[in-house]
Amino acid sequence: MPSSDPHSLHPLDNLLGYHLRRASVAMMADFGKRLQAIKLRPTEATILLLIETNPGCIQSDIGRILGIQRANMVPMIAALEKAGLIARSAMDGRSHALHLTEQGEETLQAAKTIIDAHENYFQSMFSADENKALLTSIHRISKPGD
Amino acid sequence: MPSSDPHSLHPLDNLLGYHLRRASVAMMADFGKRLQAIKLRPTEATILLLIETNPGCIQSDIGRILGIQRANMVPMIAALEKAGLIARSAMDGRSHALHLTEQGEETLQAAKTIIDAHENYFQSMFSADENKALLTSIHRISKPGD
DNA sequence: TATTGTTATACTCTATAACTATA
DNA sequence: TATAGTTATAGAGTATAACAATA
């Protein structure tokens, strides 16, 4: 096998997909660990952020934004309601508007502090320019339509 | 709430961790879909690459490199052996050297063609300079020690 | 006819604890 | 004492199919 074979020497080294996965796992692990302090999981914190920005949205909206199946949204929303962080009020006969409770807003503020610390921890690995370039590039990969 | 709140307008837009996750999921989905043609899963293709580059390695080595628990390596290696893609030969009484079979080498070559197409599909979103910067940045996040 | 919420289910991936045999 | 392989098990996350109620 020729030594110029791009897979030979370090077969994973130039693979964007592999390192994207490892980086994502590393950040998710750090985020999850930090969120344990307020008994939230990463997806739950993300849902609280979305409800704050889109009060009155329905759980199917959130599922579409986050790429989560409707069926899998059910236990997540139920858990947040049971924990007293969100409230549901009937819109039509089939959908319920979602809002943060007072406790949900308080928890979200704590989550935001954690998110900032977590993001700063990783983003401080890079210069401002590197950071902007990195976010722009990753956006391009993750955006569905673009 | 002040409009300068970085979480308000598009609460996920500036979150590196969120977009890293979405990008990783997008690439993994594409990779997995392409690999179905040769009945491999992403992790299995990665293991074949590592065995080719490190013939005679043991499954615990692979687990350490990929961040997979020893217990979870067992069914993966067993499946690759059952599929006739790898062979095990006793080293000591407790560990087995791993090698690709002929069929395993053939399958790996097909996997490499798929990997190249998959990587090119995503890396063609960027210029050569952008690509290098992106890989360098992601390496920095995913590398354990650095 | 399409959408919302729901249940049930299954499959993958991951994490932990314990055991054995070997070094 | 530490390591390699293994088993069993439990917890997430994710995917599909089906159904009732509603739009």
Closest Cα to residue A66, out of B122, B28, B25?
Answer: B25
Closest Cα to residue B23, out of B122, B127, B137?
Answer: B122
CB A17 within 8 A of CB B27: yes
Least confident piece of the model among A18-32, A68-82, B6-20, B33-47: B6-20
Q: How far is A46 from chain B (nearest CA, A)?
A: 8
Interface test with B, best of A3, A4, A21 (most B CBs within 10 A): A21
Q: What are the DSSP calls for B73-109, one per residue?
A: HHHHHHHHHHTTSEEEEESSSS-EEEEE-HHHHHHHH
**A19-35 burial by CB neighbour count: b if 16+ within 10 A, else e?**
bbbbbbbbbbeebeebb
pLDDT in tens, B16-59: 999 999 999 999 999 999 999 999 999 999 999 999 999 999 99
Give the pLDDT of residue A9. 60
Q: Which residue is closest to A137 within chain B, CA to CA? A: B134
Tokens of B35: 């690999």
Give the pLDDT of residue A1. 44
DSSP label of B58 = -
Give the span between the Cα atoms of A128 and B17, in whole angstroms: 16
Give the span between the Cα atoms of A25 and A17, in whole angstroms: 12
pLDDT in tens, B103-114: 999 999 999 999
Does residue A109 register a pLDDT over 60?
Answer: yes
CB A100 within 8 A of CB A53: no
Give the pLDDT of residue A8. 61
Among the partner residues B16, B122, B139, nearest to A119 by beta-carbon distance: B16
Give the pLDDT of residue B5. 62
Residue nearest to nucleotide C12 (CA to C1'): B41
Statement: the CB of A112 is under 7 Å from strand C: no
CB A86 within 8 A of CB A80: yes
Give the span between the Cα atoms of B74 and B21, in whole angstroms: 27
CB B138 within 8 A of CB B99: no
Give the pLDDT of residue A10. 84
**pLDDT band for position A5 (50/70/90)?**
low
- A74-90: average pLDDT: 97
Among the partner residues B12, B53, B142, nearest to A49 by beta-carbon distance: B12
Is the CB of B11 less than 8 angstroms away from the CB of A53?
Answer: yes
- A104-109: average pLDDT: 98
**pLDDT band for position B2 (50/70/90)?**
very low
What average pLDDT does the structure give for chain B?
Answer: 93
Q: Tell me the residues of chain B between 32 and 91 that have a Cβ less than 8 Å away from chain A.
A: 46, 49-50, 52-53, 67
What domains can be seen in chain A, in order of their start residue?
Answer: 41-121 (1.10.10.10)
B48 Cα distance to chain centroid: 11
- The β-bridge relationship of strands B96-100 and B86-90 is antiparallel
Give the pLDDT of residue A143. 76
Phi, psi of A79 (to 5 degrees): -65, -40
